[in-house]
Amino acid sequence: RRMSTAPAFQLHNQAFVNGNWVDAKAQNTFAVKDPATDELITSIPDMDEHDAEEAIQVASEAFKSWKRTTAKERSKILRKWYDLIIANQDSLAEIMTRESGKPLKESIGEIMYSADYVELYSEEAKRIHGEVLQSPVKSKEMLLIRQPIGVIGMLTPWNFPMAMIARKAAAALASGCTIVIKPAEDTPLSALEFAALGKEAGIPDGVVNVVTSSRKNAASVGLKLCTSPLIAGISFTGSTAVGKILYKQCSGGIKRIGLELGGNAPFIVFESADVDKAVIAATASKFRNAGQTCVACNRLFVHESIQEEFTSKLKNAISGFVVGSGLNANTNIGPLINQAQLTKVSSLVDDALSKGATAHVGGSPHSLGKLFYQPTLLSNINPTMLIYSAEIFGPVATVMSFKSEEEVIEKANDTPSGLASYFFSNDIAQIWRVAKALDYGMVGINEGIISAAEAAFGGIKESGMGREGSKHGIDEYTYIKYLCFGNL
């Protein structure tokens, strides 16, 4: 099924501030395009730092009353939001696929995953408890309470246009914070629909605001969010390079910052592994969203005794992929998001091939359109190749072999990144050893897909700080206030 021009439903193509659909003050707009066809979907407001300033003020005003709502009130609104997301999943998925290129079934999956966060935090809101401490002094009582930190600026990426917002927004709202979101320029439409459903669910005006900007204005809007005295914290998901800029910008005001940055996930297959299951998991981890996920397995390390078997089975799995528009029901691999991504992936593969890598399948752009790349499997990778240490973010798997557990742990940890990691083994002692030895925030053990709203998602080292999801996601948006009652 191919959609012709415009989707059948009403698309929101204005920014969302104080509960209203608004244009940029300067009246500028930018184009949102379908990466599969390069067709214009719509034009939306290109907001600058002045528009951002207004949204921040609105959110700051709204915080005064939102922070006084009861947890139960916030919980009910979030639960309604969850119900509306579920009820509208088909139209949301169509928008998401059109602007991001991901296959429709992955869009549905992401919308369910987004809804999971909203549901989880509608429940968690009621459990933001304090503590009564054991005072060391008879005349004193000591308590800890949790309070919302204030207005949060959120900057989010295009690879999960709704989920990366939902996991932040739901936790922040549950905590009593208000928010200003700047979605990625490639995928702002899913963010706007998410906000629209929030309004329908009863989120008061000004509590959620969406400032849309082109890449040209992203830096100045980001700077405004990081430096405004009315902003209490920043939550960012995106590249490590931009994360470092935001971290610096936040230092002036000692602002809270949550960073979920790039990964370089190892996927290790030990000799005791179930090879068939490892192939299925590696395929899912690597090729979801055409490889454009920060938890995608980026380096496959396979024990030398099973490397040949693993590589040939992985090649078979990859050869079965259907590349095409995400709107076609049987598509597994859609287009990459934009020209910059395509160029990067393509040059990493070209560099590897020129230095002696073997392409078992793929190895070049796909003839289907300018943003399509062939699902690719490379072996004979060595450290002189750029692809050895780069985050690929494309449909390209690289297989390397290893001899010993010690050697592979060292290689797996030899990166500034520390987000997701994976390994397959059926040796129980080894499983425990390796799980503890991997310097990563998350470890998939005999599993390639680990994300869940119930779990704590996040990295160490240059992959970021803070956790999203689970009860720990609340910590990002609350502070502990210590109350000391004296002279009792």
- Pairwise CA distance, residues 364 & 346, whole Å: 7
- Contact letters (x/-) for ligand ADP, 113-152, by CB under 6 A? ----------------------------------------
The nearest distance, CB 101 to ligand ADP, in angstroms, is 14
Smallest separation, CB 226 to ligand ADP (Å): 8
Alpha-carbon distance 87 to 169, whole Å? 19
Measured at CB, which residue is nearest to ligand ADP? 222
Candidates 13-21, 241-249, 344-352, 373-381: pick the segment binding ligand ADP (CB under 6 A). 241-249
Q: State the pairing for strand pair 15-17/464-465.
A: unpaired
| Residue found by looking up tokens 């922070």 in the block | 67
Stretch that binds ligand ADP, among 39-47, 105-113, 140-148, 217-225 (CB under 6 A): 217-225
Task: Kindly state the smallest distance separating residue 159's Cβ from ligand ADP, in Å.
Answer: 7
Smallest gap from residue 44 Cβ to ligand ADP (A): 13
CB proximity list for 406: less than 8 A, separation 6 or greater: none
Count of residues near ligand ADP by CB under 6 A: 15
Least Cα distance to 270 among 423, 381, 159 occurs for 423
- Radius of gyration over alpha carbons of the chain, in Å? 23
Q: Which is nearer to ligand ADP, 47 or 400 (CB)?
A: 47
Which of 337, 352 has the CB closer to ligand ADP? 337
Candidate ranges 1-9, 85-93, 177-185, 418-426; the one touching ligand ADP (CB under 6 A): 177-185
* Contact string (CB under 6 A) for ligand ADP, positions 275-314, x = contact: ----------------------------------------
The piece of 181-189, 263-271, 345-353, 442-450 that touches ligand ADP (CB under 6 A) is: 181-189
Among 35, 161, 206, 238, binds ligand ADP (CB under 6 A): 238
Q: Is 184 in the site for ligand ADP (CB under 6 A)?
A: yes
To the nearest whole angstrom, how small is the minimum distance from the Cβ of residue 344 to ligand ADP?
9
* Position 326 contacts ligand ADP (CB under 6 A): no
Among 71, 133, 218, 361, binds ligand ADP (CB under 6 A): 218
The least CB distance from residue 134 to ligand ADP, in Å, is 45
Q: According to the binding rule CB under 6 A, does residue 245 interact with ligand ADP?
A: yes
181/281 Cα distance (integer angstroms): 33
Q: C-beta of 212: minimal distance to ligand ADP in Å?
A: 10
Options 97, 114, 156, 178; binder of ligand ADP; rule CB under 6 A: 156
Nearest distance, CB of residue 391 and ligand ADP, angstroms: 10
Query: How far lies 182's CA from each of 29, 52, 186, 192, 314, in Å?
Result: 15, 9, 12, 10, 38
Find the binder of ligand ADP among 155, 352, 381, 442 (CB under 6 A): 155
Residue 382-421 contact track with ligand ADP, rule CB under 6 A, x = bound:
----------------------------------------
d(CA 300, CA 294): 15
**Contact (CB, 8 A) for 224 and 255:** no
Identify which range of 163-171, 240-248, 407-415, 443-451 contacts ligand ADP by CB under 6 A.
Answer: 240-248
To ligand ADP, the closest distance from the beta carbon of 393 in angstroms equals 7
Report, as residue numbers or ranges, the catalytic residues: 260
Which of these segments, 18-26, 91-99, 132-140, 153-161, binds ligand ADP (CB under 6 A)? 153-161
Residues 187-216 that bind ligand ADP (CB under 6 A): 215
Task: Report the C-alpha gap between 161 and 97 in whole angstroms.
Answer: 10
Q: Kindly state the tokens that stand for 449.
A: 């897909």
Residue from 222, 263, 335, 375 touching ligand ADP (CB under 6 A): that is 222
Which residue among 48, 185, 260, 468 contacts ligand ADP (CB under 6 A)? 185
Q: Which residues lie near ligand ADP (CB under 6 A)? A: 155-157, 182, 184-185, 215, 218-219, 222, 238-239, 242, 245-246
